A and B are shown apart, each in its own frame.
Chain A
Amino acid sequence: MSNDSSRSSVDPRLEGSGRRRLPWILYGAMLVLLAVTVTITIRNGTFEGFVAIAVMMMLGYGTVGALIASRVPDNPLGWAMLTIGLGFVLVGLSDETLTYALVTKPGAWVPLLGVAAFLSGWTFFLVLGAMVLVLVLFPTGRVHSRRWRLLPLAIVATTAVSAMLAILTPGPIESDSDVPLGIDNPTGIDALEPVIEAAWVVAGPASLIVVIASVIALVMRFRKAGGDERQQIRWLAYLAMLACVLFAGAILSSIGIGPNETRIVSEAFFLATFACIGIAFPVAIAVAIFRYRLYDLDLVVKKTVVFSVVAIVLTALYLGFVGIATLGGVSRLIFGILVLAVTFNPVRRAARSIADRLVYGRRATPYEVLSEFSERMTETYSTDDVLPRMAQVLQGATGATRADVWLRVGRQLRASASSPSDQSSHPPVAAADDSLPALPGSFAAEVRHQGALLGALTVIMPANDPLDPSRERLVRDLAAQAGPVLRNVRLIEELRASRQRLVAAQDAERRKLERNIHDGAQQQLVALGVRLRLADTLVDRDAAKAHEMLAQLQTETQGAIDDLRDLARGIYPPLLADQGLGSALEAQARKSVMPVEVSADGVGRFGQDVEAAVYFTCLEALQNIAKYADASRATISLAHRNGSLEFSVADDGTGFDVTTVEGGSGLQGMADRIDAIGGTFKVESHPGSGTTVRGTVPVV
């Protein structure tokens, strides 16, 4: 991967339209002009701190501008920044050319003088205007509220006016390095001098107002922004305010200086302002891009950053080389070449790791990621938190656009957590046997614990950054660590669900019971009451009939008693409490229409909850057989073996497909009940070959 970074940094952009290529062409031109400018500057002997900052500024604005312009060509911000870079190069180039042609080596490059002189006047204002525009347009490329929509126009207007005035101002051209050039502005118009002077008096403060307004606009945008955008703008806003403060300091500290004096403090302030605007601003924008994913620039940036850093270092080395070379000597030349050759690869690696750090943040080594994973897992054991956190770490560790944690529930794999969390979740995937089914995503690692499949981790990678073997291994390692965690999460979820089902089953039972009592015994008693009153009236009129009625009522009351007794037995058979499982089940068996054989094998007495659970489970199994199985016979067996009570209810009926039935027929309720007392429960059935319900319960 490290060998083709310089090649691949060009390819993605070539795939785009010509518009995407243009910024980089301009950038290349800028670099070339920059190199030329620096060479001339060195020749002029005017290379100083100010110039170094200027170089960094041009590179900063130019690189970031080209990046943004190529990525989002519709956003004027990128082009504005490119303009700053290019513009400033032109300022420097024109200025240094003038110096060279007029001072250092008078008489050289005369044909270029005119162009250089022309450019040197107004390109500075272009740069200034573009910089102010950047402040106002960052990051969306438009003003943030309608109230400010005139501001960009104001900026362009003041820039244009200032540039025009600069072009037309007569008089000598001044060089930045205070070396008198001895040339007048070729486009200056002497006749208009008073007008132009007056215009400057207006244009100057007007520009200042526009600049201040722009800073205010930026700060307002920051204050109104929320979430990510706030973070993106934050640094630039702070730096803009800082630059204002520094500039104010520079102005204040230069009050009262004559035209040829300088004061160290005010110089320092100016330099600081310049450094802030020139270096800190593009860095702030770069931070917004890398750290906060502005314009979705992430992966592509990494390789470009490599490229840029290498370019910068090479340029610096070239400058050093030139510097050394100008001192003369072939040996120095050779030395310079050797230094270049030797430092290239380490510089490239260093640049890559810096780029990695910038882009991926703390995602440094797999070992550190695993460590972070453990750390995250230990911070929480709330089951609601664990899975989302796992997904977050997985996404952060691999740089995926989406990471999912799948949990096995029943015979399905469900996407229980994903990062980012606002995505819609994948539909469940069937997982019939114990092997991992196909899951959506670029890569899946199964999570197992003690051999059983508990779930899976999946990631979806962006197209330009697929998983490499080391990251695949990382995902697998994470999956290995996730085993115990998933097991416990599942366990707790299952227990909670089971408990809830039991409570629901209880409530359902009670409602049914209440209905039974109402519809049965209660109704009968109501009828009894009515008939009694009737008999009462008959006593006087027809004693014989009354007698008959009373006799009938006796029978009916006996019927009510029998029903009530059955009801009570249904609630909890006295036989079970008095004589145990064997007798109680035999009594039920006798009531059944089809033959039911009970082999209790001398099984004794157990705790109340065990006997109740087993009794009602077997009872429900019998009821199921009567309802669904269409069987000719059934067998209930009980055995006390190895510290457990084993029971089974088998029939020779139609059977069913166990994989399709999920609760509903009460199987889930039976499982919950047996589970709740610490036992195991199993249903064996095949269509056409009967059903056996089986369980074991630990008994002391």
Chain B
Amino acid sequence: MIRVTTTRIGKISIVLSPGGRFAPSEQHLLEDLADHAGLALHNVRLTEVLRVRLEEISARADALRRSRERVETARDEQRRKLEREVREGAHVRLLAIIDRLDMAAEVVDHHPDGASSIMDELSADTNATLEELRDLARGVFPPLLVDRGIAPALEAHVRKEAIPAALEIADGVRAHRFDPEVEAALFFCCVQSLQNAARHAGGGEIAARLDRDQDAIVFTVSDRSSGLDAGSTPDGMDLQIMRDRIEALDGTFEVRSEFGQGRVIAGSVPALMLEEAGS
């Protein structure tokens, strides 16, 4: 019997010629041999297990690589989207404004009395364009997030977009400022989650919570949707991007969904408070 410590890992068998016998000294020799063999075989086995483990580490490295690639790709996607929004939104409106200015100039020349209505329209157009640009900018990066932090920014967003969600932000989160990357990640993650929830919740209750847990901020966005499997919805890509972003900050991210029970997006991000002075 070959053993390492007390685990049997193998056996040495000897076939004697008929009539042959084993002398006690030979038996001792065999037992010694088994002892030494034990250690050698154990090492071989361990080397094999080590190789498997290293493969697992490599797989993990690959997963990281892919995650990083996704982060970069998402960035480009968003840029394209933004460019399109500008081109098709504010840009178009401004062109329309120029035309109208042209018209207004003529009206002023010939029918000064009728000018007021067109002037009003022009003001309205300008305001609308301004609003649109403000929305655009807010979508890119809300100034409120930079100036006052997650809580005001998130509340403003929910209000503005009229998202039917109950927002609960703990004092520990509200009262402090954190690293800008953390605030941005949490904000966009919540915004995206709320958007997804609103899209497929079908009017059910949506709730979002932010809490402090020692040196981390914990977030939860839950809805009472029909609870389709997370991977099959069109949200899949969005969830993946959120996960990448949160994990890039050494946070955790999970999606729990049960059929008929709704869905919960939850996670935590390590977050250290910034000094109050000056922020």
Which residues of chain A have a CB within 8 Å of any CB of chain B? 367-368, 370-371, 374-375, 377-378, 381, 383, 484-485, 488, 491-492, 495-496, 498-500, 502-504, 506-507, 509-511, 513-514, 517-518, 521-522, 525-526, 528-529, 532-533, 535-536, 539-540, 543, 546-547, 550-551, 553-554, 557-558, 560-561, 564-565, 567-569, 571-572, 574, 577, 608-609, 612-613, 672-673, 675-678
Contacts and interface: CB of A to CB of B under 8 A. Distances in A.
B180 to A, nearest CB: 7
B119 interface: yes
Interface string B34-77: 00000100110011011001101110110011011101110110
B91 to A, nearest CB: 6
Contact of B72 (A378, A500, A557, A609): A609
24 contacts: A367-B39, A371-B39, A378-B50, A378-B53, A495-B61, A495-B68, A496-B64, A502-B68, A502-B71, A504-B181, A507-B181, A510-B184, A511-B141, A513-B141, A514-B141, A517-B140, A532-B126, A543-B108, A543-B109, A543-B112, A550-B105, A554-B101, A571-B82, A677-B69
B223 interface: no
Contacts of B94: 557, 560-561, 564
B207 interface: no
A525 B249 contact: no
Nearest to B75: A506
A561 B101 CA distance: 14
Nearest to A558: B98
A567 B91 CA distance: 11
Contact of A546 (B60, B108, B133, B181): B108
B143 interface: yes
Contacts of B181: 503-504, 507
Contacts of B247: 499
Interface string B116-143: 1001101100110110011011101111
A282 to B, nearest CB: 30
B158 interface: no
Contact of B137 (A518, A529, A539, A550): A518
Contacts of A571: 79, 82-83, 86
B60 A371 contact: no
B33 to A, nearest CB: 15
Contacts of B98: 554, 557-558, 561
Contacts of B134: 522
A678 B245 CA distance: 19
A163 B136 CA distance: 98
A638 to B, nearest CB: 19
Given A381-B53, A381-B56, A511-B180, 17 more contacts: A485-B54, A492-B57, A495-B65, A496-B64, A499-B71, A499-B244, A499-B248, A502-B75, A521-B133, A522-B130, A543-B112, A564-B94, A568-B83, A571-B79, A572-B79, A613-B76, A676-B72
A317 B115 CA distance: 128
B65 to A, nearest CB: 6
B80 interface: yes
A522 B126 contact: no
B126 A529 contact: yes
A511 B116 contact: no
Contact of B80 (A378, A529, A577): A577
Contacts of A506: 71, 75
A550 B101 contact: yes
Interface of B: 39, 42-43, 46-47, 49-50, 53-54, 56-58, 60-61, 64-65, 67-69, 71-73, 75-76, 79-80, 82-83, 86-87, 90-91, 94-95, 97-98, 101-102, 104-105, 108-109, 112, 115-116, 119-120, 122-123, 126-127, 129-130, 133-134, 136-138, 140-143, 146, 180-181, 184-185, 244-245, 247-250
B143 A518 contact: yes
Given A367-B39, A506-B71, A525-B126, A499 B133 contact: no
A130 B260 CA distance: 77
Contacts of B58: 488
Nearest to A560: B94
Contacts of B57: 381, 383, 488, 492
A68 B185 CA distance: 61
Contacts of A492: 57, 60-61, 64
Nearest to B247: A499
Contacts of B249: 500, 503
B232 to A, nearest CB: 25
B115 A529 contact: no
Contacts of A383: 57
Contacts of A532: 119, 122-123, 126
B141 A550 contact: no
B130 A525 contact: yes
A550 B64 contact: no
A484 B53 CA distance: 11
A484 B52 CA distance: 12
Q: Which of A499, A521, A676 has the most CB of B within 10 A?
A: A499
A258 to B, nearest CB: 53
Contacts of B53: 377-378, 381
Given A492-B61, A543-B112, A608 B141 contact: no
A471 to B, nearest CB: 19
A378 B49 contact: yes
B91 A565 contact: yes
B32 to A, nearest CB: 15
A522 B39 CA distance: 75
Contacts of B67: 499
A370 B43 contact: yes
Contact of B180 (A507, A673, A677): A507
A367 B4 CA distance: 13
Contacts of A672: 68
Contacts of B123: 529, 532-533, 536
Scoring A383, A507, A558 by chain B CB atoms within 10 A of each residue's CB, the highest score goes to: A507
Given A613-B72, A676-B72, A536 B47 contact: no
Nearest to B77: A608
Contacts of A675: 68
A514 B143 contact: yes
A41 to B, nearest CB: 40
Given A488-B58, A529-B127, A608-B76, A507 B184 contact: yes
A529 B125 CA distance: 9
A510 B249 CA distance: 18
Contacts of B91: 561, 564-565, 568
A230 to B, nearest CB: 27
A503 B56 contact: no
Nearest to B54: A484
